[in-house]
Structure 1
Amino acid sequence: MKKILAIIPLLLLFISCEKEIELDLKNTTPQIVVEGAITDAEGPYFVKLSKSINFYDPNKFPAVTGASVIITDNLGNSDVLTELEDGLYRTNNIVGFPGNTYNLSITVGEDKYYATSTMPQKVNLDSIRFEHGQDTEGEDYYSIIPIYKNPSTFGNYYRFVTKINNRTDDTYYLKNDTNGIDQINDSPIYNLDYTYINKNDLVEVEMRCIDRITYNYFNTILQVINAGPNGGITPTNPPNNITGSPALGIFSAYTTQTIKQKVE
């Protein structure tokens, strides 16, 4: 009944199910992969740089070393990141704060990459509760309902990251304010195909308030994953906020808060 989902962090290559396409899977042009974030939690923050690989290569993404990585904000602060280990760059002094805009600048040889993200105002995660249900085979499960109130204006986007008994659930849980502004959320997050929550499990829920482009990025990945190989969706690389030389990935400024609770 329970299934395991292996999610590749970046979907580098998709094949359309609408027509036959001849592809040279052995030779794809490598692109830089940017995985960067700044939050309202205490730093440091990190930017990971790697390169995409050919389809049949071993699933190891080569680190991009020796890059110049700088983060600035709208207040005039600037931080030259330190390469902590191959491909992993750490901030030194910049501070994440809701409402601030952060600019990422990366130089790798002759190539330059840029990204901008404004950290949304924090929407408070008041609590979480669990809703009992049964699947079609009569197996019990619990879904998670995050309790929060949407602000009085539209344009709010959320991503939820969960851990069950200290094990991270790789499912992309996304929500927005389509259930109504100034309304309390009462809808659950769950994916019965991959995640079952049982009584006495320890559940950790992190709520991230994200910007629209970050929401669209993960939502595109989620739609392709859910559709499967014959789902009728024409696959594409997810939209991102990286400009300059071609690149994959996302740079996101978001607020974060976490609640841990046992299912009883």
Structure 2
Amino acid sequence: MRKLSFFIPVILLFSACEKDISVDLPVEAPQLVVEGTFENGMYPQVILTHSLNYFSSITPDILAKAFVHNAAVTVTDAGNNVMTLKERVIDSANTKFYVYGPDFTGGSARFTGKVPGTYTLRINADNKAYESVTTIPSRGMRLDSIWWTLVQVDDSTKARLWVKITDAPAFGNYGRYFTRRNREPFLPGRNSVVDDQLVNGTTFEIPVDAGVDKNKKPDVSTDAFFELGDTVTLKFCNIDKATWDFWRTLDFAYNSNGNPFSSPTKILGNVSGGALGYWGGYTVSYKTIIISR
């Protein structure tokens, strides 16, 4: 009874202090959101949307209306060649996406990404100008090999993917990875970036989690592993620090979602002019492995 006599006054104390609190949250004006990528040997792709308020309801109609149309978008290389990007629509699973890519009908220059290369993205949208610079870097981190090991997860046998990477002697190399399972799309890992702060100039081995669809509810107990019989392709990319900063902070925010003890995270974009998002260059390598049954 001593324990009970202690808790009852505490409960009464907190119940006596109850008070309804109403907080008026400000409605922020929409901001331009940029998702731009440029890979070696490929043409650039840029997706432009307007941001939504944190407590906005999400419906297919609202998402469709978030795309920004009729923007003026160009990419300039180090030789001052200017490529105009034109908006096109992509139908995918009954959903329309709008992407800015090279204009094959106009007379502007067209070029694919080179290693190394420096590229400037310029956007005029909503009567505002935005700009960002990225690099497609040299292969400071080299993907040497991939393999798999068996692991027991609950009552089933799964496969864990491993990689061997060699880092160049100079500090300041950054990477990001994606995996593809069979014919599924490439997906980034829950923590998709790596840097050479602790492994500079060495050859190191690390486990690699399977990529995840971040639009779906995560299952932390099984998401990291592959099934026996899977054909797995690893897409490993060298990136610059600005691209690494963006995905490092975004991955942290995603993994902290719902954790009341996590600190607020500022997403570090690299687009000037007040836009959110990033413009990132990727130097890409691929390796494929079959996980035997």
Which residue number corresponds to residue 101 of structure 1?
118
2:72 counterpart letter in structure 1: S
The structure showing larger relative contact order (alpha-carbon pairs under 8 Å, at least 6 residues apart) is 1
How far apart are the structure 2 equivalents of 1:110 and 1:159? Answer: 34
Could you say what secondary structure the match of 1:259 adopts?
strand
Normalised by the length of structure 2, the TM-score is 0.75
Answer yes or no: is 1:171 the counterpart of 2:189: yes
**Structure-1 residue corresponding to 2:289:** 261
- What does residue 125 of structure 1 align with? 143
**Amino acid paired to 2:169:** S
CA distance in 2, matches of 1:105, 1:236: 27
Q: 2:45 aligns to what?
A: 46
Check 1:202–1:120 CA distance in 2 against 1; reply closer, same or farther (3 A cut).
same
- Cα distance in structure 1, aligned partners of 2:40 and 2:148: 27
Change in CA separation of 1:234 and 1:68 when aligned onto 2, cut-off 3 Å: same
Q: Structure 1: any 5+ residue segments left out of the alignment? A: 1-19
User: C-alpha offsets along residues 183-230 of structure 1, whole Å, 9 cap, x if unaligned?
Assistant: 122111126532331222111110011111111111112222223322
Correspondence for 1:160: 177
One-letter code aligned to 2:151? G
Identical aligned pairs, as a percentage? 24
Deviation of 1:165 after TM superposition, in Å, equals 2.5
Distance 2:155 2:201 in 1: 36
Higher Rg of the two aligned structures: 2
Q: Is 1:206–1:256's contact at 8 Å kept on the other side of the alignment? A: yes
Which residue in the other structure is 2:70 paired with?
A: 66
Q: Which runs of 5+ in 2 are unaligned?
A: 1-20, 90-96, 104-109, 211-219
Aligned partner of 1:184 among 183, 203, 207: 203
On the 8 A contact 2:159/2:226 being kept in 1, the answer is yes
In 2: Cα distance, 1:23 partner to 1:29 partner: 16
Q: Give me the TM-score of the superposition, normalised by structure 1.
A: 0.82
Aligned residues: 241
- Inter-CA distance 44–234: structure 2 relative to 1 (3 Å threshold): same
How far the C-alpha of 1:21 sits from its partner, in A, is: 9.7
C-alpha deviation, 1:29, in angstroms: 1.6
Aligned to 2:265: 236
